[in-house]
């Protein structure tokens, strides 16, 4: 469920940004923003390629803090700005996913602790 939401957000947030800030070329902008999802190709270097319990941020090379710093720099030239926006939205969503995962695990741990105390 959480994972489905995460994937959905990777399409919905770019759609919202494209509609809000580039209303006249929203489809084109949305497609460019979605194309930055290719950044996930760096998962192919990892083993396993996909692990739902792993945080992408600062694990995969194109999700490293160095790479994110580069994406911020790409905001400056007008030609690379949209790609930079797409990449930074992606990093923000991946980061949010890690954070949410931690919180969710924490809540689950709390619930099972209470259950153990009551029933053992
Ligand atoms: Zn990613």
User: How far, in Å, from the CA of 112 to the mean position of ligand 1?
Assistant: 31
User: How far, in Å, from the CA of 63 to the mean position of ligand 1?
Assistant: 7
| Alpha-carbon separation of residue 106 from 71, 109, 112 (angstroms) | 32, 5, 10
User: How far, in Å, from the CA of 59 to the mean position of ligand 1?
Assistant: 10
Higher-confidence residue of 3 and 108: namely: 3
Q: What's residue 82's pLDDT?
A: 97
Contact 77, 24 (CB under 8 A): no
Q: What's residue 39's pLDDT?
A: 95
DSSP string, the chain: -HHHHHHHHHHHHHHHHHHHH-GGGHHHHHHHHHHGGGGGGGGGGSSSS--TTS--TTTSGGGSHHHHHHHHHTTSSHHHHHHHHHHHHHHHHHHHHHHHHHHHHHHHHHHHHHHHHHH-
Please identify which residue in the block is written with the tokens 């602790």.
Answer: 113
Q: What's residue 111's pLDDT?
A: 76
Q: What's residue 23's pLDDT?
A: 96
Q: What's residue 102's pLDDT?
A: 61
User: How far, in Å, from the CA of 43 to the mean position of ligand 1?
Assistant: 8
User: How far, in Å, from the CA of 29 to the mean position of ligand 1?
Assistant: 19
* Mean residue pLDDT across the chain: 90
Judged against a pLDDT cut of 90, whether residue 105 lies above it is answered with: no
Domain boundaries, the chain: 2-119
């Amino acid at each position: 469920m959480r994972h489905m939401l995460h994937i959905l957000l990777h399409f919905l947030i770019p759609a919202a940004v494209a509609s809000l800030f580039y209303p006249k070329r929203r489809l084109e902008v949305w497609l460019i923003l979605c194309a930055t999802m290719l950044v996930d190709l760096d998962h192919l270097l990892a083993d396993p390629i996909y692990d739902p319990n792993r945080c992408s941020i600062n694990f995969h090379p194109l999700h490293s803090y160095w790479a994110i710093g580069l994406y911020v720099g790409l905001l400056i030239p007008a030609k690379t700005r949209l790609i930079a926006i797409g990449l930074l939205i992606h990093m923000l969503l991946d980061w949010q996913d890690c954070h949410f995962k931690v919180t969710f695990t924490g809540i689950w741990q709390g619930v099972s602790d209470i259950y153990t105390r009551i029933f053992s």
